[in-house]
Amino acid sequence: MTDAGERALLVGLALGRRDRARTESSLEELALLARSAGARVVGTVLQERARRDPATLVGRGKAEEVKQACEERGADVVILDEDLAPAQQRNLEQAVERKTLDRTQLILDIFARRARTREGRLQVELAQLDYLLPRLAGKGVLLSRLGGGIGTRGPGETKLETDRRRIRQRIQSIKREIEHLRRERLTRREARGRHEAPVVALVGYTNAGKSTLFNALTHAGAVVSDQLFMTLDPLVRKVRLGPGRDVLLVDTVGFIQKLPHPLVAAFRATLEEVRQADLLLHVVDASAPGVEEREAAVESVLKEIGAGERPRLLVLNKADRALAERLRALVEARPGAAVVSSLTGAGLDGLLSTVASRLDLEPRLVRLSFSAGDRRGVAGVYAAGRVLAHEVRNGRVLLEAEIAERTLERYRGHLA
């Protein structure tokens, strides 16, 4: 478990003056990540240099400065806004004389706290072990951290003292179990497919309001928080747009800048829901700074998981918090985007109407004819839409009904 109120000093590296603004923004996000892991951020240090130092990342002089800052502010953990090589991590820990984590370890720690399902926990453990395996060599600095605190928590922590062979065996065992769970989920997805309800997946930057939007559309009561990565295990709920016009809405894990590749790989099975969706709703926090960078980060991950070509609709969320001028500029730059407030409900009816149009779920008025004995066919129309008139004439059942466009092909031979 986390030590109560671990005090964290954050360290960022800007590669030249032009990289400074991006690094400062990334450090702000790192602070949110640290707080989500239960730490108290006591300060930040930003190093600007032309290239990464192979020994300590930030250079010996800056490492000494970090140590001094830790002493002055009472920090007991140093968190780097970069990925550290094993040797860099050992050297930095020796230089600052404090536990040192990199961005990947911090995110793994948060994922370990958030995972609820069996599959989610297995995926976190797999990512932890993949990260730790190349770091088992040397003096065992990482293995000495079993006392607890950020970076040592989660399903994988009891495996830290095992040797490489046993860790590799455990990795293979986890992969087999995840594959088994993936096949079970595929079976459930195929069963859903037989009901022909299209799948709409919410994707977006973490804390963009996806879960709030999910709740507003489904009344599901999913956990909502301003902490990062509150949703790890995908949730699936039905949304009714009208008689016979249902969609399955999926809430998924949020993305961030510099999302570690091992995590993307570990959660690839879960993110199959995104790859298979009929439509992606890319939810953007319209009130947040750096909207463009966040959009780009999400698009990058979508490409990495093989969902880059899926149809998508941009949803500018949190419109109630955005400045009017800023919101207007975002809309002008993104033609066709939906503008909503999940909190107040503004724009949700328009969003659902757009979703229905994109998925060919708009109702079409049709007249159908069935033989009087075709009870199954008649019942199917009642299930697929809204029947406005039902008449029996000359051994035929004549129906007037509203049916979604995407299901019309099924009744093409019965059009009267």
Question: How would you write the pLDDT of the chain (416 residues) with one tens digit per residue?
Answer: 344 579 999 999 999 888 898 898 889 889 988 998 889 999 999 999 999 999 999 999 999 999 999 999 999 999 999 989 989 999 999 999 999 999 988 988 888 887 777 877 888 888 888 888 877 754 344 444 444 566 655 555 444 455 677 888 889 999 999 889 888 877 876 766 555 688 999 999 888 899 899 999 988 665 554 455 555 566 788 898 877 788 989 888 777 777 767 667 666 656 777 888 899 999 999 998 889 988 998 998 888 888 889 999 999 999 999 999 999 999 999 999 999 999 999 999 999 999 999 998 988 999 999 999 999 999 999 988 899 999 999 989 999 999 988 888 889 889 88
Laid out side by side, the sheet with 363-371 consists of 363-371, 396-404, 385-393
CA gap 17, 106 in Å, rounded: 26
d(CA 392, CA 338): 45
C-alpha–C-alpha distance, residues 76 and 143, integer Å: 18
Q: Model pTM greater than 0.85?
A: no
Gap between the Cα atoms of 32 and 254, Å rounded: 14
Residue type, 113: R
- For residue 10, list its beta bridge partners: 44, 79
Question: In Å, what is the CA distance from 110 to each residue of 106, 154, 225?
Answer: 6, 9, 14
